[in-house]
Amino acid sequence: MKTKQLKFLVLLFLFISAVSCSNDDDMNQEDQENHNPEYHGNVSLLVSDANSTALNFINPFNSEIQTFQASFPKGVVYVTQSGLYGIITHREHDFTETFNLGGEIDHGDHSHSLGETGLTDTNFESMKPTHFKSEQGYVAVYNDGDATLSLFKENDINGGASVSNIATGTAAHHGAMVIFDNGNIAVTNLGSGISLPEKVHIINQQGEVISQEEQSLSTSGIHGSAGNDDTAIFGAASGILVVQDNGDQRIIDYPESFEEEVWFGSILATNEPDLFIGYTAAKGVYFIDISTEEVTPLLETSDLFKCMVSLDGNEVVSLTKTGSFTITDVSTQEHVYTGTMGVTLDTESTDHSSITSNVDYFEDYLFVSIPTSNKIIQYNLSEMNIEKEYDLDITPYQFKVLSYDIAH
**Nearest C-alpha neighbor of 240 from the set 248, 250, 228:** 250
Look at residue 105 in the predicted model and tell me its pLDDT: 85
What residue type is assigned to position 275 of the chain? L
Question: What share of the chain has pLDDT > 70, as a percent?
Answer: 90
pLDDT in tens, 145-193: 999 999 999 999 999 999 999 999 999 999 999 999 999 999 999 999 8
Q: What is the mean pLDDT of residues 55-73?
A: 97
Look at residue 20 in the predicted model and tell me its pLDDT: 39
How many CA atoms lie within 13 Å of 9's alpha carbon, on the beta-carbon side?
A: 14
Look at residue 350 in the predicted model and tell me its pLDDT: 82
Q: Residue 31 — very low, low, confident or very high, per pLDDT cuts 50/70/90? A: very low
Q: Residue 41 — very low, low, confident or very high, per pLDDT cuts 50/70/90? A: low
Q: Which of 28-42, 250-264, 280-294 has the lowest mean pLDDT?
A: 28-42
CATH class of 2-25+126-403: mainly beta
Look at residue 29 in the predicted model and tell me its pLDDT: 33
Residue 78 has pLDDT above 80, yes or no: yes
Residue 46 has pLDDT above 60, yes or no: yes
What residue type is assigned to position 302 of the chain? S
Burial of residue 261 (number of CB atoms within 10 Å: 0-12, 13-18, 19+): middle
How many CA atoms lie within 13 Å of 191's alpha carbon, on the beta-carbon side?
A: 19
For residues 43 and 400, is the Cβ–Cβ distance under 8 A? Answer: no
pLDDT in tens, 337-387: 999 999 999 999 887 789 999 999 999 999 999 999 999 999 999 999 999
What residue type is assigned to position 15 of the chain? F
Q: Residue 5 — very low, low, confident or very high, per pLDDT cuts 50/70/90? A: low
Q: What is the mean pLDDT of residues 320-341?
A: 97
SS3 180: coil
What is the rounded CA–CA span in Å between residue 26 and residue 57?
Answer: 21
Which strand (E) or helix (H) includes residue 340? strand 335-340
Q: What share of the chain is helix, strand, coil (3-state, %, to 5)?
A: 10, 45, 45
Q: What average pLDDT does the chain have?
A: 91
Q: Residue 71 — very low, low, confident or very high, per pLDDT cuts 50/70/90? A: very high
What is the rounded CA–CA span in Å between residue 47 and residue 329?
Answer: 27
SS3 12: helix
What is the rounded CA–CA span in Å between residue 176 and residue 400?
Answer: 21
Q: Please, what's the b/e burial string for 129-141 (b: 16 or more CB within 10 A of its CB; e: otherwise)? A: bbbbbbbbebbbb
Which sequence spans correspond to the domains of the chain? 2-25+126-403
Look at residue 106 in the predicted model and tell me its pLDDT: 80
DSSP strands (E only) in 27-176: 42-49, 54-58, 65-69, 76-79, 85-90, 95-100, 104-106, 111-113, 118-125, 129-135, 138-143, 148-153, 164-167
Look at residue 194 in the predicted model and tell me its pLDDT: 86
**Nearest C-alpha neighbor of 359 from the set 9, 19, 117, 119:** 19
What residue type is assigned to position 151 of the chain? L
What is the rounded CA–CA span in Å between residue 178 and residue 163?
Answer: 17
Q: Rg of the chain's alpha carbons, rounded to an integer?
A: 20
What residue type is assigned to position 197 of the chain? P
